[in-house]
Amino acid sequence: MMTTHNGSHGFYNFIFHSFFKHLDAEKAHHLGALVIRITGLPGIRHVKHAFTRPAPELHVQALGLNFDSPFGMAAGFDKDVNMVSGLYALGFGHVEVGTLTAHAQPGNPKPRLFRLIPDRALINRMGFNNHGAAAAVPRLNKLRKLKHRPVIGVNIGKSRIVDVENAIDDYLTSTRLLAPLADYLVVNVSSPNTPGLRGLQEISSLSPLLTAVKEASGNTPLLVKIAPDLSSEEIREIAQLVTTLKLDGIIATNTTISRSGLLTPREKVDAIGAGGLSGAPLHDRSLEVLKELRDVVPAEMCVISVGGIETAQQIQERLDAGATLVQGYSGFIYNGPAWALSINRRLRKMRKEQL
């Protein structure tokens, strides 16, 4: 549950259970996105951010960048770079946009986003629906000119229409367009919703892909995002590869294809079908993967931990386990727009108590 049970959280809880949970999950997301975009309008953004600005003691230096808070929004929430200013106004220290692909694509057929409310989880099989890398360029250009904005990560993936054997050229198209406009770039090889994509995590495929993208990305910090379903040996191999290639970091983890230990009735989960599971059930596995990575990668390498985050205590636990930064997504659906503000305030309070 939330770290604080203030009025805004109680009000959102009421709205969620009275209204949002009865709406199709993707429609509810679009409705929420509209509110976030309005929050990001210039006049509103400045007023709101004055109220939500994270305390200076929460600032983190990583990837050669200054993050206002260790807590950011994970990829998948703002696929087309429409909500960055709004999410900044709500208190997120960074926003990872995307996943963006070289070719615009509609994604998988609807419905493709589902809530597992008893588990505080989501299942999605969106399929990298986005308007394409080129369409994101003017929006990123505009954001970069703002005096006040969060750190912007750009997450890129393989276009569905491109065969796996041609994946490198496809990633390079996106890299050349987006790396110059990204504060950091992420190679996503771990979504379960694009056929063949996860196979790119195999070292024989991953090594040439990351080598090519690193060369094309110039001075932009480069990270790779991995799945929680990898074995310890696979995690170790990827960590060693990333270290050898001198990439800047690893994001762990994406959604899982596992369905174990859920409270939602099995028949309901089976009826939903394929997709990546995110939210609270990922907490333990995501933490495990973080610890396994930290055993291998150099201390100075950036590791961004994501999966099952809802509270400030959980964020501090990840930071204590070696995470440089932490991201959330599903928790926003269950905690509402005051989530980041609440977490930042609680993190600050916890640090003051430790002094």
Annotation: binding site for FMN = 75-79, 99, 155, 188, 225, 253, 279, 308, 329-330
Instruction: Name the token pair of 77.
Output: 């929430």
121 φ, ψ to 5°?
Answer: -135, 170
How far is the CA of 179 from the CAs of 106, 131, 156, in angstroms?
Answer: 23, 17, 10
- Strand positions, DSSP E, 112-180: 113-116, 121-124, 151-156
The CA distance from 217 to 195, in Å, is: 25
Cis ω before 244 (30° cut-off from 0): no
Which is catalytic among the residues 191, 217, 286, 342?
A: 191
* 33, containing H or E segment: helix 25-39
Could you tell me which residues are annotated as the binding site for substrate?
79, 124-128, 188, 193, 254-255
How far is the CA of 198 from the CAs of 132, 248, 273, 279, 330, in angstroms?
Answer: 20, 21, 18, 20, 22
Q: Strand order in 276-279's β-sheet?
A: 113-116, 121-124, 276-279
Is 8 an active-site residue? no
Could you tell me which residues are annotated as the binding site?
75-79, 99, 124-128, 155, 188, 193, 225, 253-255, 279, 308, 329-330
Q: What is the three-class DSSP state of 289?
A: helix
Q: Which residues contact 237 (CB under 8 A, 6 or more apart)?
A: 203
Q: Which residues contact 210 (CB under 8 A, 6 or more apart)?
A: 187, 222, 224, 241, 242, 245, 247
DSSP string, 302-344: EEEEESS--SHHHHHHHHHTT-SEEEESHHHHHH-TTHHHHHH
Q: Is 190:77 a contact under the CB 8 Å cutoff?
A: no
Q: How many CB atoms lie within 10 A of CB 232?
A: 11
Q: Which residues are catalytic, by number?
A: 191
